[in-house]
Amino acid sequence: MTKDIIEEKINYFLVDEFEVEEEEIAPEANLKETLELDSLDFVDLVVAIESNFGVKLVGEDFVNVKTLQDFYDLIESKLSQKTV
Amino acid sequence: MRRVVITGMGIYSCIGKNLSEVKESLYSGTSGIVFDQKRKDFGYRSPLSGMVEEPNLKKFLSRRERISMGEEAQYAYVATREALENARIDQDFLDNNEVGILYGNDSTAKSVIESVDTMRQKGDTTLVGSGAIFKAMNSTVTMNLSTIFRLTGVNFTISAACASGSHAIGMAYQLISSGLQDTIICGGAQEINELAMGSFDGLGVFSTNQDPAKASRPFDSGRDGLVPSGGGATLIVESYDSAIKRGAPILGEIVGYGFSSNGEHISTPNVEGPSRAMLKALKQANLKPEQIDYVNAHATSTPVGDANEAKAIVEVFGPKGPCVSSTKSMTGHECWMAGASEVIYSMLMMEHSFVAPNINLENPDEDAAQLNLVKKTLNKKIDVFLSNSFGFGGTNSALIIKKLS
């Protein structure tokens, strides 16, 4: 899966499912604050990632995720590990 | 003891999505029962049910709020919005006054089953999502509504089978009467889905009548069982002083709450328990039986239940006493919600001076023949009514409500 498709899919479920305003979506956006995602939302992010990408994340995976770009990178890295 | 009044009502049921639609259905004797293919496919003996559509709450609630709500909480939310508006209570009032919530609910089958199915399929508990726990707990209605409306008063769920909604009103009456709360949102909610009612259907107590609109026939000799149903019903119960102080509409006064337990069979009702609940309510209300204008019977359309309730009503009121009808003939059995919705149905009758018919009553059986049953809509002034609700385990509740003079 290409980087563009990963970003597109993530942006889509953030807007559609998590009701994040489209204009708030930017690579530098802070995932927790700008997008107003609380601790419960992170559980739902895990569900969305599993259903969209087939990978299961755990809480520790999010430790270094601050921005949306970090989030895209995390998924890309998980998908490449899965392929390997 | 303080006087306790009802200042608002809201309803979401199979005979109407709001008070106005429900009043029309009650007056015209319209049934809300339909054939449900899902139940037939699922192996039910009876494919019949009362049905409401899933409300679209996207315009009112955020994703975070919606994700924690199962069917019953959604229905209760719609009913509560109408009830608050009806009572002229806005968010500003809720933010500045200690308002409580007591709601009747006794299952969240669909939410529990769906999350367990996901765990089994995925082998991972996180993948049920963050809302699963809040949808699956029996207190789902009170935990969701208290959060959405930012309530700061009493907050718990009453589970008492098919008398849950009635006991919720009774408990609100007690707390307000004793001065512990001024305003309480209360009512009952009931999920409608094939997952929730399978075990009940399995007992063989649901009607297998081929004609949905004719299947629920309380007190009729041709009755062959109940028809399940559901939705949400909310009442705003308030101290008289609080209602007067804020210039609220006063729709009725709660004057009696009688309760009892049969102490016998888990599912077969008796005569003595319900009769005792009605007598206790009358005593508390300081009313004589002949002062009751209308009895909204619990009668669900089961052979034994209706016969025993008829005997109990005759025991308390004598033969051919007050007008009696079972609105379940139109709505089916709204179970956990019924005790609250039937108070609303009766309140609408009191407000608009009519008695809703006990439809499908063609040949009353021997016990029912002793009652003053209303078969066709009767234009009649109602000043005081009694509403019966009974449930599995032999729990009984009788509420008496009167028009404020």
Q: What CATH number does the domain containing B195 carry?
A: 3.40.47.10
Q: Is residue B253 part of a domain?
A: no
Nearest to B63 among A19, A56, A58 (CB): A19
Mean pLDDT calculated for residue range B306-312 = 98
Per-residue pLDDT band at B334 (split at 50, 70, 90): very high
Distance, in angstroms, between A44 CA and closest chain B CA?
5
What is the C-alpha separation between B232 and B236, in angstroms, rounded? 14
Burial environment of residue B199 by CB neighbours within 10 A (0 to 12, 13 to 18, 19 or more): exposed
> Are B240 and B266 contained in the same domain?
no
Give just the sign of the alpha carbon dihedral B152, B10, B355, B308.
Answer: negative
Per-residue pLDDT band at A81 (split at 50, 70, 90): confident
Residue whose structure tokens are 């408990």: B171
Say whether pLDDT at A5 is over 90. Answer: yes
Which of chain B's residues have a Cβ under 8 Å away from the Cβ of A44? 67, 129-131
Helices (H), A1-84: 3-16, 39-53, 68-83
Q: What is the pLDDT, as a whole number, of residue A84?
A: 63
Summarised one tens digit per residue, pLDDT across range B260-297 is: 999 999 999 999 999 999 999 999 999 999 999 999 99
CB neighbours of residue B197 within 10 Å = 26
A-contacting residues of B 11-70, CB under 8 Å? 62-64, 67
A vs B, Cβ pairs < 8 A, gives 29
Summarised one tens digit per residue, pLDDT across range B69-111 is: 999 999 999 999 999 999 999 999 999 999 999 999 999 999 9
What is the C-alpha separation between B130 and B133, in angstroms, rounded? 7
Distance, in angstroms, between A14 CA and closest chain B CA?
11
Burial environment of residue B140 by CB neighbours within 10 A (0 to 12, 13 to 18, 19 or more): buried
What is the C-alpha separation between B396 and B262, in angstroms, rounded? 8
Which of chain A's residues have a Cβ under 8 Å away from the Cβ of B128? 47
Summarised one tens digit per residue, pLDDT across range A33-73 is: 877 888 888 899 999 999 999 999 988 898 899 999 999 99
Amino acid at position A6, single letter: I
Tell me the CA distances in angstroms from B123 to A56, A58, B10, B120, B332, one per residue in order. 11, 14, 41, 5, 39
Per-residue pLDDT band at B65 (split at 50, 70, 90): very high
| Domains of chain A and CATH, by start | 3-83 (1.10.1200.10)
Query: Which of B245, B276, B307 lies at the terminal end of a domain, its last residue?
Result: B245
> Are B264 and B224 contained in the same domain?
no
Beta sheet of B395-402, edge-to-edge order: B155-158, B99-104, B183-190, B231-239, B4-12, B252-261, B395-402, B384-391, B294-296, B323-325, B372-373
Distance, in angstroms, between B72 CA and closest chain A CA?
22
The total number of structural domains that make up chain B: 2
What is the C-alpha separation between B185 and B193, in angstroms, rounded? 26
Summarised one tens digit per residue, pLDDT across range B187-222 is: 999 999 999 999 999 999 999 999 999 999 999 999
Say whether pLDDT at B405 is over 80. Answer: no
> Are B272 and B205 contained in the same domain?
no
**Can you give the three-state secondary structure of A23-45, one letter per residue?**
HHCCCCCECCCCCCCCHHHHHHH
Q: Is residue B142 part of a domain?
A: yes
Burial environment of residue B361 by CB neighbours within 10 A (0 to 12, 13 to 18, 19 or more): buried
Q: Would an 8 Å CB–CB cutoff place A60 in contact with chain B?
A: no
Q: What is the pLDDT, as a whole number, of residue B284?
A: 98
Per-residue pLDDT band at A1 (split at 50, 70, 90): confident
How many residues appear in chain B? Answer: 405
Give just the sign of the alpha carbon dihedral B160, B165, B171, B174.
Answer: negative
- Please indicate whether, in this complex, the C-beta atoms of B127 and A18 are within 8 angstroms of each other: no
Percent of chain A with pLDDT over 70: 98
Q: Would an 8 Å CB–CB cutoff place A13 in contact with chain B?
A: no
Mean pLDDT calculated for residue range B377-397 = 98
Summarised one tens digit per residue, pLDDT across range B101-160 is: 999 999 999 999 999 999 999 999 999 999 999 999 999 999 999 999 999 999 999 999
Query: Which of B245, B276, B302 lies at the terminal end of a domain, its last residue?
Result: B245
- Please indicate whether, in this complex, the C-beta atoms of A44 and B130 are within 8 angstroms of each other: yes
Angle at B242 between CA B240 and CA B244, to 5 degrees: 70
Q: Would an 8 Å CB–CB cutoff place A36 in contact with chain B?
A: no
Say whether pLDDT at B3 is over 90. Answer: yes
> Are B300 and B179 contained in the same domain?
no
Q: Is residue B63 part of a domain?
A: yes
> Are B210 and B278 contained in the same domain?
no
Q: What is the pLDDT, as a whole number, of residue A59?
A: 84
**ipTM here:** 0.89
What is the C-alpha separation between B302 and B220, in angstroms, rounded? 10
Full residue range of the structural domain in which residue B333 is found: 258-402
Residue of B nearest to A38 (CA): B64
> Are B361 and B302 contained in the same domain?
yes
Nearest to B130 among A43, A56, A58 (CB): A43
Residue of A nearest to B61 (CA): A19
Percent of chain A with pLDDT over 90: 69
Distance, in angstroms, between A2 CA and closest chain B CA?
25
The residues with which B389 forms a beta bridge, in sequence order, are: B397
Q: Are B331 and B229 in contact (CB under 8 A)?
A: yes
> Are B266 and B384 contained in the same domain?
yes
> Are B43 and B192 contained in the same domain?
yes
Q: Is residue B385 part of a domain?
A: yes
Q: What is the pLDDT, as a whole number, of residue A37?
A: 82
Nearest to A50 among B64, B67, B127 (CB): B127
> Are B241 and B324 contained in the same domain?
no
> Are B80 and B123 contained in the same domain?
yes
Burial environment of residue B302 by CB neighbours within 10 A (0 to 12, 13 to 18, 19 or more): buried
The residues with which B235 forms a beta bridge, in sequence order, are: B9, B186
Mean pLDDT calculated for residue range B237-241 = 98
Which of chain B's residues have a Cβ under 8 Å away from the Cβ of A41? 64, 130
Q: What is the pLDDT, as a whole number, of residue A35?
A: 77
What is the C-alpha separation between B28 and A42, in angstroms, rounded? 51
Averaged pLDDT score across all residues of chain B: 97
Nearest 10 degrees: CA dihedral of A9, A10, A15, A19? 140
What is the C-alpha separation between A26 and B190, in angstroms, rounded? 43
> Are B124 and B195 contained in the same domain?
yes
> Are B176 and B291 contained in the same domain?
no
DSSP class of residue B54 equals P
Residue of A nearest to B124 (CA): A56
Q: Are B356 and B382 in contact (CB under 8 A)?
A: no
